[in-house]
Structure 1
Amino acid sequence: MHVIFGSSGVVGSAVLTELHRKGLPARGVYRSRRPPHHAGEVARVDLETGDGLDASLAGAKAVFLATGDMIDQVAAELRVVEAARRAGARRIVKLSIMSAESEAFFYARIHRAIERGVEASGLPYTLLRPGGFMQNFIHYYGHAIRTEGVLRLPCHDFEENVIDARDIARVAAECLSSDRFEGEALTLCGPAPLSYSAMVAEISARTGRNVTFASISAEAFRASMLPYAVSQEHVDGISAMLRFHQEGRGTKTSDAVFDVTGARPRSFQDFAREHASSWLP
């Protein structure tokens, strides 16, 4: 059984789809939103308390570990690692973040702490370190693009190599069902870096609208995001992460998606063409 934590999230749900396509059994673990129909089984778990955790891992062969933002994400994910070890799981694939090894910003420090726990667990593992998701342009930036025709971020216009979450899922499904990449940390990104102005220009071309990029202060970004965030530290962590990549300290290119799956990652141009209706008023 392949047990997928974060199964109702953008990556976890795509992992379920990939495992279904491969004909592999999967159990979708969730807290509040049930995963999509591709989960043959589902299990509800509270990662803050561990309630339901051991039952969710019964018969686990491979575990995909992903969670959303939490007050103590490190403790929550390490709870899963320990429970997976107790359950006799043979493999764990951890969804991390690009440049986690740097520990240079809030989210990198969180994920690197969890990575260390995975490495020390004795379980065979693969670490996935993707860059920003293309889906962020729908789920997080989409409202402002639809209603105001603008993308506002607390950074200057710089190039980022965003990746489609479905390509992360293709890599994850391969790593869950094979030992080819055991012990590796894979940096995942799209086919080429693009500036934010180039990405909104692509959205403009696909929608027939004038969509622009606007650089705003960290304070303005905090004020706009705080009502929806877990904490101020999480919001400021996004600003710090963007500054890190704006300074050119992150990875710009990687062939890992192709190396693992044998297929090139989707381009932002193709993503914008497919999802153009998401940005229409």
Structure 2
Amino acid sequence: MKILVIGASGNVGRYVVDKLLEKGEKVVAAGTNLENLANLFKDRVDLVYLDLIAQDSFDQALEGVDRVFLMRPPHLGKPGNLYPFIDAMKAHGIQLVSFLSLMGVETNTIPPHHKIEKYIEATGIPYAHIRPGFFMQNLSGIHSTEIREKNQIFVPAGKSKTSFIDAADIGLSVATVLHQPDKFKNTAHTITGAEALDYYQVAEILSRVTGKGITYAKPGYLKYRRYYINKRGLDKKYVNVTVALYFMTRMGTAKHVSNEFFELTGKTPRSFEEFSRANLTCFI
């Protein structure tokens, strides 16, 4: 049987695919842009069209599949958007679904991930939730523009600390549980980097790696929100979600350091300095 990977071209999904292939699994990469998926994975995987809000695409995507990597696309803000697909997984007898959740969501009912986890569990589908900390790719991706152009980290996180984790390590964690569905049935795993850093420390690391004088701007919520909506032109709903996440970060929800990545994989998570050196071109 095969493993369906949703969001296969995304930050985490592409690593899930790669790590599953390394483990000898057969993979079906799902998405709405099959040309993009074909360019990314060549002939290493099967491809299938899947739109999580188009129920007529579900059966074909789930045919011949016994395990699923499920993530919530950023544009689907309501938990209920995913419920029909979860019901379809139940109807197809999926043996394990690994849902990309969020660190601390078991006690934090605000993010949509909380209700999605609960809905999966209520259906009786065997699950292995992966609850990562903040992605290192947030800095090499969405926030890299200010780092490159202004030598600034522009996020409203105050003095809070974050246990950043590389998306590649998240992908390995997901592949590990999907590769051993019986062992990890009905489990949840909080995975983080090996240390918690505040953004002043992140700026110091990036300054050392790039040779530039990078500072942490520490904007307030309103200034951050106006900038990303008006100057960067990002979708208002997306920016509002990031504001909420940084608000929770200031409450200390992102500083927890877990050893579960090592317990799952037997490997040490990548440090932020190692990540920065490997992705230097994103910051200069």
TM category, shorter: over 0.9
TM superposition shift of 1:265: 0.7
Percent identity between the two aligned chains: 27
Q: Aligned equivalents of 2:205 and 2:80: distance in 1?
A: 40
> 5 Å matches for 1:129-208?
129-178=131-180, 179-208=182-211
Q: Aligned equivalents of 1:131 and 1:249: distance in 2?
A: 9
User: Does the 8 Å contact 2:196/2:255 carry over to 1?
Assistant: no
The equivalent of 1:222 in structure 2 is 225
Alignment partner of 1:70 out of 62, 72, 75: 75
TM superposition shift of 1:73: 4.1
Q: Aligned equivalents of 1:93 and 1:131: distance in 2?
A: 16
TM superposition shift of 1:169: 0.7
Q: Aligned equivalents of 1:140 and 1:267: distance in 2?
A: 20
1:117 and 2:119 correspond: yes
TM superposition shift of 1:148: 1.1
The equivalent of 2:66 in structure 1 is 61
Q: Aligned equivalents of 1:44 and 1:113: distance in 2?
A: 26
Cα RMSD of the aligned pairs, angstroms, is: 1.7
* TM superposition outliers: structure 1 runs of 4+ over 4 Å: none
The equivalent of 1:43 in structure 2 is 48
Q: Secondary structure at the match of 2:154?
A: strand
The letter of the residue matching 1:25 is K
Q: Aligned equivalents of 1:161 and 1:251: distance in 2?
A: 5
The letter of the residue matching 1:253 is V
The letter of the residue matching 2:46 is E
The equivalent of 1:277 in structure 2 is 281
**Gap regions ≥5 residues in structure 2:** none
Change (3 A) 1:101 1:255: same
The equivalent of 1:20 in structure 2 is 21
User: Does the 8 Å contact 1:90/1:124 carry over to 2?
Assistant: yes
Q: Aligned equivalents of 1:67 and 1:152: distance in 2?
A: 25
TM superposition shift of 1:158: 2.1
The equivalent of 1:103 in structure 2 is 108
User: Does the 8 Å contact 1:60/1:84 carry over to 2?
Assistant: no
The equivalent of 2:214 in structure 1 is 211
The letter of the residue matching 2:145 is H
TM superposition shift of 1:104: 5.0
1:268 and 2:272 correspond: yes
Q: Could you list the per-position Cα deviations for residues 10-54 of structure 1 after superposition, in whole angstroms to 9, with x for gaps in the alignment?
A: 001110010111121001111236332165111122212224121
User: Does the 8 Å contact 2:23/2:179 carry over to 1?
Assistant: no
Change (3 A) 1:79 1:266: same
Q: Secondary structure at the match of 1:228?
A: coil
User: Does the 8 Å contact 1:29/1:42 carry over to 2?
Assistant: yes
Change (3 A) 1:43 1:76: farther
The letter of the residue matching 1:238 is T
Matched positions, count: 275
User: Does the 8 Å contact 1:160/1:194 carry over to 2?
Assistant: yes
TM superposition shift of 1:250: 4.5
The letter of the residue matching 2:138 is N
User: Does the 8 Å contact 1:98/1:251 carry over to 2?
Assistant: no
TM-score (norm 1): 0.92
User: Does the 8 Å contact 2:162/2:254 carry over to 1?
Assistant: no
**Gap regions ≥5 residues in structure 1:** none
The equivalent of 2:8 in structure 1 is 7
Q: Aligned equivalents of 2:104 and 2:172: distance in 1?
A: 21
TM-score (norm 2): 0.91
